[in-house]
Amino acid sequence: MVKVAVIGAGNWGKNLVKNFYELGSLSAVVDEDEGRLNKVGKDYKGVHLLTSLNDLWKMAIPAVAIATPAPTHYEITKTALTKGRDVFVEKPFTLNASQAEELVTLAKSSGRIIMVGHLLLYQPAIRWIKDCILKNTLGKLYFLHQERLNLGRARRGENALWSLGVHDVAVFLDLVGRNPQRVEVVGQPVLQKDVEDDVYLHLAFSGGVAAHLHASWLWPGKYRRLTAVFERGMLVYDEIAQTVTLHKKYINSKLENMDEGQQVVFKGNSEPLKLELKHFIECCQSRQRPYSDGESAVGVVKILEEASNKLGVKM
């Protein structure tokens, strides 16, 4: 089993720690906060606890998982690759496309695995919808619409798109299977100057396919829902209920409304994070290309960067 060191044991890093431990791969945890490390030591016996990355690089641990603040991803990933480590890095990969492309090139030249934590790509419901698209089950895909809304935790250093929408952009690119031709975005800063609390992102792809995202942490209800509208029906993935419902509704060539009811066609209760990290371990062992590799993540960062430029956001 490939051994992994987790860098960062904060709000999300602790989930990586737990899952890598349960998978039998956790070797070390690095965090400057000794309180966090003490808790890790109590919960997970036999794990090396380190406060310095320099100490980690002296150890023969072949892979690292990075769950530090986004602005640090580039430098830590670059160092890890230079030190000959395979890397799993949480989203967002980097804060600009040039850094992302540089890391992909470095990983290739050094023969290292680089995988980005686009968690939703490992959600079985998303894979089910992808299969439906590939098999042309409901005919042509017209558009995707994602809602990621809640009265959530407002951030100071990033807007709602960067905080909430990264996974959804990754899903759009995966389901459509190509990069967009046009990116449009509208955002509104309400609570803080220059930090958009409510964002609408629109992507236009070749072949007339479109994708729309509404991301907000300033919303009265919690909605995590993807709607896929096809030629002969509509799929709604409720991320909270973990169901995919087929609405047998469409408008035919005569502009007649067709409605044959609805049914739940997929229901899952899996652990996408564990599936994702297991995939990373398997890629490190087999040297296969990860499903959410660095190249696919570059496409996500390019969209976020272009949207940020149009919003006037300085990253």
**Residues near 42 by Cβ (< 8 Å), separated by ≥ 6?**
none
Q: Which tokens belong to 175? A: 């389901």
Pairing of strands 63-66, 141-151: unpaired
Q: What is the CATH number of the domain that holds 246?
A: 3.30.360.10
Tell whether 101 and 151 lie within a shared domain. Answer: no
What tens digit of pLDDT does each residue of 76-120 get? Answer: 999 999 999 999 999 999 999 999 999 999 999 999 999 999 999
Task: Give the pLDDT score at 54.
Answer: 96
- Give pLDDT tens digits for 144-183: 999 999 999 999 889 999 999 999 999 999 999 999 999 9
Chosen domain end from 90, 117, 144 = 117
Beta sheet of 257-267, edge-to-edge order: 182-192, 195-204, 210-216, 141-151, 218-230, 233-238, 243-251, 257-267
Distance, in Å, from the CA atom of 75 to the CA atom of 79, rounded to the nearest integer, reads: 6
- Asked if residue 142 and residue 62 are part of one domain, the reply reads no
Kindly list the distances between the CA atom of residue 193 and the CA atoms of 95, 166, 252, 304, in Å, as whole numbers in the listed order. Answer: 20, 22, 47, 19
pLDDT digits (tens, 9 = 90+) for 123-135: 999 999 999 999 9
Tell me: pLDDT of 70 over 80.
yes
12 occurs within a structural domain:
yes
Beta strands in the chain (DSSP E): 4-7, 26-30, 48-50, 63-66, 86-90, 114-117, 141-151, 182-192, 195-204, 210-216, 218-230, 233-238, 243-251, 257-267
Mean pLDDT, rounded, for 181-196:
96
Structural domain boundaries enclosing 55: 4-117
For the chain, give the percent of residues with pLDDT over 90: 96
Mean pLDDT of the chain: 96
Residue 296's φ and ψ, nearest 5 degrees, are -65, -35
Gap between the Cα atoms of 288 and 205, Å rounded:
29
For residue 283, being part of any structural domain is answered with no
Same domain, 264 and 163: yes
Local confidence band at 270 (pLDDT 50, 70, 90 cut-offs): confident
Q: Are residues 97 and 131 in the same domain?
A: no
Alpha carbons 256 and 229: distance in angstroms, whole number:
16
Q: Phi first, then psi: what are they for 314, rounded to 5°?
A: -100, 115
CATH of the domain at 71: 3.40.50.720
157 and 246 part of one domain: yes
Is the model's pLDDT at 269 over the cut of 80?
no
Task: Answer yes or no: do 56 and 76 share one domain.
Answer: yes
**What does the alpha-carbon distance between residue 253 and residue 255 come to, in Å, rounded to a whole number?**
5
pLDDT at 250 over 90: yes
Task: In whole angstroms, give the CA distance from residue 237 to residue 244.
Answer: 4
Pairing of strands 141-151, 210-216: parallel
Tokens encoding 304: 């976020």
> Span 259-284, mean pLDDT?
94
pLDDT at 19 over 80: yes
207 vs 185: CA distance, rounded Å:
21
pLDDT of residue 315: 60
Residues 107 and 180 in one domain: no
DSSP 8-state code for residue 289: P
Shared domain for 128 and 111, answered yes or no, is: no
- Give yes or no for residue 235 having a pLDDT over 80: yes
Domain assignment present for residue 244? The answer is yes
Count of C-beta atoms within a 10 Å radius of residue 106: 17
97 and 207 belong to one structural domain: no
257 and 132 both lie in a single domain: yes
What is the pTM for the complete model shown? 0.95
Torsion of CA 41, 47, 49, 54, to 10 degrees: -170
Q: In the sheet that 114-117 helps form, which strands lie side by side, from edge to edge?
A: 48-50, 26-30, 4-7, 63-66, 86-90, 114-117
Return d(Cα 176, Cα 234) in angstroms, integer. 15
In terms of domains, do 129 and 263 share one? Answer: yes
Predicted pLDDT at 268? 84
Domain membership flag for residue 67:
yes
Cβ neighbours of residue 296 closer than 8 Å, sequence gap 6 or more: 116, 118, 170, 173, 174
What is the total count of domains within the chain?
2
Whether 60 has a pLDDT exceeding 70, the answer reads yes
Could you tell me if 147 and 95 lie in one domain? Answer: no
Average pLDDT over residues 227-249: 97
Q: DSSP states of 68-82 as a string? A: S-GGGHHHHHHHHHH
Residue 173: inside a domain, yes or no? yes
Residue keyed to tokens 């229901």: 267
